[in-house]
Amino acid sequence: MVRGTEIILNGEVVKRSRNLRGVLDYARTQPVLKCEIDRVEKRGGYTVKFTFYNGATEESSWASDVCALDWCYSRRSWGKPIDRQTELVRGMLYKTTIIWYKQTPA
C-alpha cells in the first residue's frame, strides 16, 4: 500500500510526498488538467485521480466525496474549472470529473 502521494509520468515516479502537498507543488510547474473523483465500491470511499498538463497522474484515497470536491474547488491558483461532469447512481455521487483545460500541449 502506498502511503502519501506518488506522481507518475510514463510509468516512473517523478515526485513523492507524504501528503497532498506534493500535488500542490507539482501543479505549480505542470497545471492540473482534470480531477476524476470515483466511488470505490469495496471500501465505500473515493479515489481522486489528478491528471497534469504533461500527462503525469496521481491517485489518492478519500473517505468523503464532499471533502474531495471541496479540496479540488478550493485550489484558486488552478483557476476556475471550465466543465464538470457528474454521474449519480441511486441519488449518490458515483463519479465526477472536474476539467480545467480541454487538451494537453502538442
Q: Residue 48 burial by CB count (10 A; 0-12/13-18/19+): exposed, middle or buried?
A: buried
| pTM for the predicted model, two decimal places | 0.81
At residue 102 the predicted structure's pLDDT band, cuts being 50, 70 and 90, is low
> Which tens digits make up the pLDDT trace of 29-86?
998 888 888 888 666 788 899 999 999 999 988 888 888 888 888 887 777 787 777 7
pLDDT of residue 106: 44
Separation of CA 25 from chain center: 14
pLDDT of residue 2: 56
Q: Which residues pair with 26 in a beta bridge?
A: none
